[in-house]
Amino acid sequence: MLACYTDRLSVRPGERFALHASATSSPCRLRIARVGAERREVFSRDGLAIAEQPVPPHVDRDGCGWPATLEVEVGADWRSGYYDIVLTDASGAEAHHFVCVKAPAGQARSTAVLVLATNTYHSYNWWGGANAYSNVTGLMSGTVPFAQAMDEAIGVLSTQRPFAPLIVAPPEGAPRLVNMRKRGFEEKPWASDHAWMVEHRASPYDGSAGFLHKWEHAFVAWAEAEGYALDYATDYDLEVEPDLLAGYQSAFFVGHSEYWSGGERDQVERFVDAGGRIAILSGNTCFWKVRWENDGKTYVCHKWKGFEAEDVPPEQATHLWSHRAFARPEAELTGLSFVFAGYHRLGMCVARGQGGFTVYDDRHWALEGSDLFYGDVIGGDLPLIGYESDGCRFTFDDGGLPRAVPMLGVPENLEIIGFAPCAFGEEAGRGYNPIIPPEKLDVIADVIFGESSAEAQAKVLRGHAVLASFKRGEGEVFNTGTTEWAHGLAARDPFVQVITHNVMRRFGVSRPGAPA
């Protein structure tokens, strides 16, 4: 076994972090590199003698407890960013982990900060057994049936353990979580690239979280190549540093920022209300409420079991942010919600979907100079919509433009730019075995409509991915409503790029290294 983890995921220049490792083939080599538009190595150490460490029972919940292999001091010249930690043993095998380097305290280097979705990383991490979704090891080994594996999900997870390899370091070119083409006539439904998953022994959770070769990496590579400067932080930083955003004009959430703690959400709301701007280039954003304990060593995420799994005051429980017990639906901040959208181009969820947004408000500020007009489709060939999406209910005004229905936190002043159909899950009894069965439709129906009848549950299944923006307090929110926006940037789609440039400009992102 070769594996490693750090005692914390974010540091500032001049601070130290500890690396904990286990190896059966020693000595080992350590390399640390910043990953952006380019990869730049900042630290190396050869000849590390690392012993094999035991894996304790319930390591997924309680952590490894391994001794520190060494401490690394972050150099003053380490730019804020994502740093890939690579440990190579004597046989050539590799293990990866990472740290996020923040800007020096009180010295923001940029006007904008990218908040890495590390809560999502923790929720999906199944190293040592289970994650917040299932007993993944039992499921993957075939020793535990699917339903039982789901019941054996854990709501208390340790951050003191490695990440599953395909979460933290998938190979370059790993498939996206979207069907890249439309389903053919009477073709059997599928999801993502099954052959690749079998070849790489991938779990159903590996593609949903992580930085390398995924959404955040694609966004950063594009932004840096275009000359934009960004500082970095993690979800946990926004929980424990309540004024972290105060030095910035804007904050970015990219890809799959699904899990938010109370302190993080409080800070982002204060930031926007005071005039800050947030760009959500993400889908399924702020869907689940989570909690931190034990100085960041314990992450609590009970999901659907949030009100039955532990005896805590309702305000401390973990469940849907849109649950009435919290009275804080995420759409109050994000403008949109996963409960009003769902999946696109995955299994039978809109299997022949257009893959892009149909433009309605072609005079919106985000479309300035984009050569986009009413009825055009953005990103259909990419596809720009797939995997998970956020949306809202809407009607049409007498001018033929969509207007948001202000329900479950969706603001009345939401400006809808475009939309596309989504499905919250696959309908049963339609002649195909479901790949994406809808989760807890009764709970979602009760959250949206206040009752969970069969009719209410049926209404949940149909929704729309929505591209929108709105003003809140003194600030502003832009939301792509799709996990896949960064892939449009990676593909250098001209429409997606122009829209993103407009957002960056309006949201005051510094661009000291813009191409000539």
Alpha-carbon distance of 370 to 497, in angstroms, equals 9
Rg (CA), the chain: 22
Sign of the alpha-carbon dihedral angle for 392, 254, 303, 327: negative
pTM to 2 decimal places: 0.97
Q: What Cα–Cα distance (Å) separates residue 115 from each residue in 4, 236, 244, 478?
A: 23, 9, 11, 15
The string of DSSP letters for 11-31 reads: E-TT-EEEEEEEESS-SEEEE
CB atoms within 10 A of CB 51: 12
Provide the pairing of β-strand 10-11 with 94-101: parallel
CATH number corresponding to 2-102+112-211+282-331: 2.60.40.1930
DSSP class of residue 67? P
- Where exactly are the structural domains of the chain? 2-102+112-211+282-331
- The helix or strand, by DSSP H or E, that contains position 472, with its residue range, turns out to be strand 462-472
For Cα atoms 283, 200, 173, give the angle at the middle one, nearest 5 degrees: 55
Q: Token pair for residue 376? A: 């055009």
Torsion angles phi and psi, residue 491, rounded to 5: -80, 0
- pLDDT tens for the chain, 516 residues long, are 999 999 999 999 999 999 999 999 999 999 999 999 999 999 999 999 999 999 999 999 999 999 999 999 999 999 999 999 999 999 999 999 999 999 998 887 899 999 999 999 999 999 999 999 999 999 999 999 999 999 999 999 999 999 999 999 999 999 999 999 999 999 999 998 989 999 999 999 999 999 999 999 999 999 999 999 999 999 999 999 999 999 899 999 999 999 999 999 999 999 999 999 999 999 999 999 999 999 999 999 999 999 999 989 988 999 999 999 999 999 999 999 999 999 999 999 999 999 999 999 999 999 999 999 999 999 999 999 999 999 999 999 999 999 999 999 999 999 999 999 999 999 888 889 888 888 899 999 999 999 999 999 999 999 999 999 999 999 999 999 999 999 999 999 999 999 999 999 999 998 887 876
